[in-house]
Amino acid sequence: MELAMGVDLGGTNIKGAVVSSRGDVLSFFSNPTEVEKGKERVFDNLEANVRSACQRAGVKLSEIKCVGIGSPGPLNTKTGIVIEAPNLPGWNYVPLKDIFEERLGVPVFIENDANAAGYAEAWLGAGRGTDCMLLFTLGTGIGGAIVINGELWHGPDDSAAELGHITIKYDGALCGCGNKGCLEAYASAPATVKRMKRALARGKKSTITRYLKEGRELTTKLIHKVAREGDELCRRVIKETGTYLGIAFSSYINIFNPDIIVLHGGLSGAGRMLFDAIRAEIKKRSFSMPAKRVRIVRSRLKGRAGVIGSAGCAFKAYGISV
């Protein structure tokens, strides 16, 4: 059994864990990223995170075979350079691998954060034992991972699996990426919140207004909470998000014939409201054979998928069998 360190570098928090080649999580540590304090500060925080996670696991850094860092992308897994990171302002062509091999004295592998989560779910989570798994990270953006025969599909430029950037309406809503009609422009957290705001502005009634008057921020989390309390408008807004996801998933089902589609983060916890809407759309739209095959499920490893997957990808990159 070997040990790796998995790090999930997010815009808000850095998560780290010591993970064994059997997939056991020996320790877990989370601290603030502090993006606003500059790149060097983030590097210091990341290094501190790694050292703390080791300490908690009772292992020395020298016992760690490799470190995997899941980072926002685009990035280059071969050179270990983060080309750009939307949630980490000012990060352009950051040689993350070199910097941390220098700081830690351990081989480092960097991977796209959605790919890391996908790898984890295929290795130890909801996608275990499947031939084809697609994972969607639902949040500010919609990221994705494609796992075929146990391997992540990166593409020659590490820019494959941008599953949120499939066009579902070519003359539709403008997406942050510059395209019109991407799934992300319809089903991301900001798109869902925007739909809710528009409905309220049109005078639709919802008990969510009570919370808003108390000063609560309008988030997908709040929409979900009020939907669970039975509010019709909130339920409808979540269903609409499910419908948009279902439209895109129908295409993905026709393209990949996947065994499983895993939803990770954000609204993925919205349960039946969301999943029923997704499934109804798939039934309407995709070919019946692959539609029967595919399971649509929630991430099993949840908040730990990123660290487990980063460690798993590092094991793989350095030829350590798991």
Give the strand pairing for 92-94 and 81-84: antiparallel
- Find the binder of a copy of itself among 54, 64, 120, 247 (CB under 8 A): 247
Q: Does 163 bind a copy of itself (CB under 8 A)?
A: yes
Q: Does 229 bind a copy of itself (CB under 8 A)?
A: no
Q: Which CB atom, from 14 or from 94, has the smaller least distance to a copy of itself? A: 94
The encoded tokens of residue 139 equal 């949040």
- Find the binder of a copy of itself among 31, 200, 221, 256 (CB under 8 A): 256
Nearest to 111 by CA among 67, 47, 149: 67
The encoded tokens of residue 153 equal 């599909």
Give residues with Cβ within 8 angstroms of 195, minimum separation 6.
237, 240, 241
Please identify, among the stretches 95-103, 194-202, 254-262, 296-304, the one whose residues bind a copy of itself according to the rule CB under 8 A: 254-262
How far lies 222's CA from each of 59, 93, 217, 243, in Å? 40, 37, 8, 20
From the CB of 49, what's the least distance to a copy of itself, in Å? 29
From the CB of 86, what's the least distance to a copy of itself, in Å? 12
Q: Does 156 bind a copy of itself (CB under 8 A)?
A: yes
How far lies 62's CA from each of 4, 55, 128, 219, 253, in Å? 11, 12, 30, 43, 45
From the CB of 254, what's the least distance to a copy of itself, in Å? 4
Q: Which of residues 11-50 bind a copy of itself (CB under 8 A)?
A: none
Task: Tell me how far the alpha carbon of residue 219 is from its chain's centroid.
Answer: 18
From the CB of 145, what's the least distance to a copy of itself, in Å? 11
Task: Using the structure block, give the residue that is written with the tokens 């999943």.
Answer: 275
Residue 140 CB: number of other CB atoms within 10 A?
A: 16
Give residues with Cβ within 8 angstroms of 292, minimum separation 6.
none
The encoded tokens of residue 316 equal 């793989």
- Find the binder of a copy of itself among 24, 98, 102, 131 (CB under 8 A): 131
Q: Which CB atom, from 82 or from 146, has the smaller least distance to a copy of itself? A: 146
From the CB of 259, what's the least distance to a copy of itself, in Å? 6
Q: Which CB atom, from 134 or from 314, has the smaller least distance to a copy of itself? A: 134
Q: Which of residues 133-152 bind a copy of itself (CB under 8 A)?
A: 146, 148
CA atoms within 13 A on the CB side of 41: 12
Q: Which of residues 281-300 bind a copy of itself (CB under 8 A)?
A: 284-287, 289-290, 293
182, burial (CB in 10 Å: exposed 0-12, middle 13-18, buried 19+)? buried
Please identify, among the stretches 34-42, 99-107, 172-180, 234-242, the one whose residues bind a copy of itself according to the rule CB under 8 A: 172-180
What are the φ and ψ backbone dihedral angles of 105, each rounded to 5 degrees?
Answer: 70, 25
- Find the binder of a copy of itself among 111, 113, 121, 162 (CB under 8 A): 162
Task: Using the structure block, give the residue that is written with the tokens 């064994």.
Answer: 20
Q: How many residues bind a copy of itself (CB under 8 A)?
A: 47
| Residue ranges in contact with a copy of itself by CB under 8 A | 74, 131-132, 146, 148, 153-163, 165-172, 177-181, 244, 247-248, 250-251, 254-259, 284-287, 289-290, 293
